[in-house]
Amino acid sequence: MNQAVTGKNQQKRNIMYREALNEALREEMRRDPSVFVMGVGIAERGGSYKVTAGLLEEFGGKRVIDTPIAEASFTGLGVGAAITGMRPVVEILFIDFTLLTLDQVINQAAKYKFMTGDTRSVPLVLRTQGGVGNGLAAQHSQSLEALFYHIPGLKLVMPSTPYDAKGLLKSAIRCDDPVIFIEHKLLYMNEGEVPEDDYCIELGKGDIKRSGKDVTLIAWSNMVPRSLSAAQKLAEDGIDVEVIDPRTLVPLDKELILESVRKTEHVVIVQEAVRRGGIASDIASIIQAEAFDYLDAPIEIIAGMNTPIPFNLILESACIPQETDIVESVKKCM
């Protein structure tokens, strides 16, 4: 797969995150007839977040499939289809509902390549959305990426911008391994620049969202725009923050992170998920092991509170990192 590739005369335009995802699906379905999508309410309704809007009209009911509310069954169908040579994109409305699919994803899809001696593959993309927002309460607001991060055989993608969402989804669909592709409910309406030219973003390549020299701030998904806003405020106080977005957590772009740490010698990691057993702790352990001599201060981790997410909007916000929390942690680190 290639890094982002665009033409010389590309037209600049801003589109929403959900529109970028729609374009990625549409382009890959046009390119490869083995690509199809399925999930609850994705065909006639175009999905609850309108990511699949218009696909049914173009590609028909054999490639854009409305399923019953039976996540385990249709995910298993997707795994089987991938084993036989198709490239299914399975949508699970909330990441909370992926818990119903874990046998199919973890015990079957993630292990099939290994158990067949690297002779067969499972080119499945499981699209879902997670995170906190809109008062959807404890069973529809979880950040469960660490669960999938822990499983050998799975790739894990969490884009933060429309540009990244499109390029990474196209690469995920072309990947021969199962990919967990996690979107965030609060990012769908965000706008960003996306070229009209065809491009892919290589899985495993992170991005420097903001260059800086004083501290490395590592974030992903909806914590990236929050971190960028915090970095802007910190600049007013003379603190130059470098914001690193891994974009894919598996594979993780360790070298990009370590290179930034060697430069700034200060690290803050922010995740929306609860701290215990989180990905931030694993990234911190990598930095400790491979760049310890460069650190001038302990690594700071900002994370969600160890609690189910409340329905109340004020309490919901209090449970996850906010811009002020990031600012305070960076100042503490400095």
The catalytic residue among 19, 28, 140, 145 is 140
d(CA 330, CA 325): 9
Tally the residues of the chain: 334
The confidence score (pLDDT) of residue 12 equals 75
Cβ contact 188:46 at 8 Å: no
Class of domain 14-193: alpha beta
pLDDT at residue 10, rounded to an integer: 60
How much is the pLDDT for 2?
Answer: 41
Q: Which fold has domain 207-333?
A: Rossmann fold (3.40.50)
177: left (phi over 0), alpha (psi -120 to 50) or beta: beta
pTM of the model: 0.95
Q: Is 140 a catalytic residue?
A: yes
Domain with CATH 3.40.50.920 in the chain: 207-333
Exposure string for 82-111, b = 16+ CB within 10 A, e = fewer: bbeebbbbbbbbbbbbbeebbebbbebbbb
> What DSSP string describes 121-145?
----EEEEEES--TT--TTS----H
Which of 19, 28, 71, 183 is the catalytic position? 71
Residues of the chain with pLDDT under 70: 1-11
CA distance 213 to 241: 6
What strand order describes the sheet that includes 207-210? 207-210, 241-245, 215-218, 267-274, 300-304
**How many angstroms separate the CA atoms of 320 and 302, rounded?**
9
For the chain, residues classed under CATH 3.40.50.970 are 14-193
